Structure 1
Amino acid sequence: MPPSRPAQKSLQHRTISSAVAEELRRRIVDGEFRSGFQLRQDALAAEFGVSRIPVREALMQLEAEGLVKIHPHRGAIVSELSTEEIDELFELRAWLEPRLLKASAPRLTEADYKRLNEILQEYSSELRAMHISRWGELNTEFHMVLYQHAKQPRSLAIVANLLQESDRHTRLQLSLTQGMERAASEHAELLKLCTEGRISAACSLLKTHIEGAGKSLRSYLEEHQKVSAQK
């Protein structure tokens, strides 16, 4: 049976919105659209010669990636991409999180491991489906479940805040640097080490995992901003 017209129309919108998102993403990452820049749907629709629907879908995609923030009355605003902020967030995480894991891992229960495996399965599914908005949420939950038994409430609260602050950076790192498969693999290895009681190895891997994510995102942004400056 041939596809219906609504399905064809929906596919066309997704194709157009993907093309619009790709071009807007390039301009933001390359620094053509700087932080605070307002992305007006009408102007973008006119520039690209499309309706507002695929533009709106593209902006929603970029919000899921952390590149823009959609405000009720101001519309879509380009988020700030600061290499200094990236360095600070990921350095703090790499210092604090292995300490929490060392204290918490020996106390993880069967129920905890069941939930951690469920998160990994869902994470893998969302990666295949390219549901970027879920990547950061699942990443945060995975890490917090690992640390929940540390009995260090102040450190745990700080890390929870850092994970929230770095959520958009995590989504950017995964989507822009093609780090999805590496993240999934390292999460699985991290869980395996904890299951086997190899806590020191798990803490070392966690530190490397966090530092690697921060460095790959920083390098990506620096390279693209350098290319943009040379144009």
Structure 2
Amino acid sequence: MAPEAKPITKPAQKPLQHRTIAAAVAQSLRDRILDGAFKAGFPLRQDALANEFGVSRIPIREALMQLEAEGLVKIHPHRGAIVSELSTEEVEELFELRALLEPRLLKASVDRLTQDDYETLKQILQEYSAELRAKHIRRWGELNTEFHRLLYRHAEQPRTLAIVVNLLQECDRHTRLQLSLTDGMKRAEAEHAELLRLCETGQITAACELLRTHIEDVGKSLRTYLKQHQRPEEPR
């Protein structure tokens, strides 16, 4: 008698299912946050969300981590996840300050940039491009901050540089959100490369102007997105 054929088993699909469910949960929560249904400080409790979506806590946790990477959620060790504060007024102020201060630092620093500096800056842009394509959101803001900081490192204006580094860190979540939810990735990649080329070839005025418009356009793009997706406050 021929041996009984064993049933063919399919590879486990749980990891893929979790990622797919997590993406769907993240999109639903993202819509509600940006639409204003979930206000800043609103608690996002994993148990309640798991019950609402009819899933386990694993994809809920992955979705919340994704939203934290985009700057929409803050995860606290003991308080859990809450909706982050995000306003067009805050975005406008942060990016206006950057557009005012960063070209001044670049102008003071660019003549002192060394070949080693340029090699490091090019390596940062290569990693930045790779992380954009891999959608490693958490690294985008970090690399963006490091790129700008290195451009200004020789300005010999330590107080202004400290202010700008703080602004860059505050803009980190805004930058990640702008790249994640708008068409800003290709533009950011191209403008960073062009900015570096202008600096390296001594076109300082053009480099400072590109930097200023680059910062202003990122802020404008994010404000436009927020205005389109956030409901106006209801009259009291």
**Is TM-score (shorter-chain normalized) higher than 0.5?**
yes
Distance 1:59 1:11 in 2: 17
Counterpart in the other structure of 1:177? 182
**1:76 aligned counterpart, secondary structure:** strand
Distance 1:183 1:216 in 2: 12
Distance 2:76 2:231 in 1: 30
Calculate the aligned-residue CA RMSD, in Å. 1.4
Consecutive unaligned residues in structure 1, runs of 5 or more: none
Counterpart in the other structure of 1:168? 173
Distance 1:3 1:149, change over 3 A: farther
CA contact (8 A) 1:35 1:78 kept: yes
CA contact (8 A) 1:30 1:228 kept: no
CA contact (8 A) 1:86 1:214 kept: yes
Q: What does 1:139-158 correspond to in 2, within 5 Å?
A: 139-158=144-163
Q: For residue 222 of structure 1, what is the amino acid of its counterpart?
A: K
More helix by share: 1
Determine which structure has more spread, i.e. the larger CA radius of gyration. 2
Q: CA deviation at 1:176?
A: 1.3
Counterpart in the other structure of 1:81? 86
Counterpart in the other structure of 1:25? 30
Counterpart in the other structure of 2:11? 4
Distance 1:226 1:220 in 2: 12
Counterpart in the other structure of 1:114? 119
Q: For residue 87 of structure 1, what is the amino acid of its counterpart?
A: E
Distance 2:135 2:10 in 1: 23
Q: For residue 179 of structure 1, what is the amino acid of its counterpart?
A: G
**1:80 aligned counterpart, secondary structure:** coil
Cα offsets for 1:95-133 (capped at 9, x unmatched): 000000001011111111111111111011001111111
Distance 1:196 1:4 in 2: 55
Distance 1:99 1:93 in 2: 10
**2:74 aligned counterpart, secondary structure:** strand
Cα offsets for 1:25-48 (capped at 9, x unmatched): 111111110100000001111111
1:129 equivalent to 2:137? Answer no
% identical equivalent positions? 74
Distance 2:57 2:169 in 1: 31
Consecutive unaligned residues in structure 2, runs of 5 or more: 1-8
1:59 equivalent to 2:64? Answer yes
Q: CA deviation at 1:178?
A: 2.3
**2:55 aligned counterpart, secondary structure:** coil
Distance 1:47 1:57 in 2: 16
Distance 1:188 1:3, change over 3 A: farther
TM-score (norm: length of structure 2): 0.93
From 200, 225, 230, the equivalent of 1:195 is: 200
**2:108 aligned counterpart, secondary structure:** helix
TM-score (norm: length of structure 1): 0.95
4+ long deviations beyond 2 Å = 226-229
Q: For residue 191 of structure 1, what is the amino acid of its counterpart?
A: L
CA contact (8 A) 2:36 2:231 kept: no
Q: CA deviation at 1:203?
A: 0.2
Cα offsets for 1:136-186 (capped at 9, x unmatched): 000000000000000000100000110011111111111111211110110
Distance 2:147 2:37 in 1: 35
Distance 1:158 1:17, change over 3 A: same
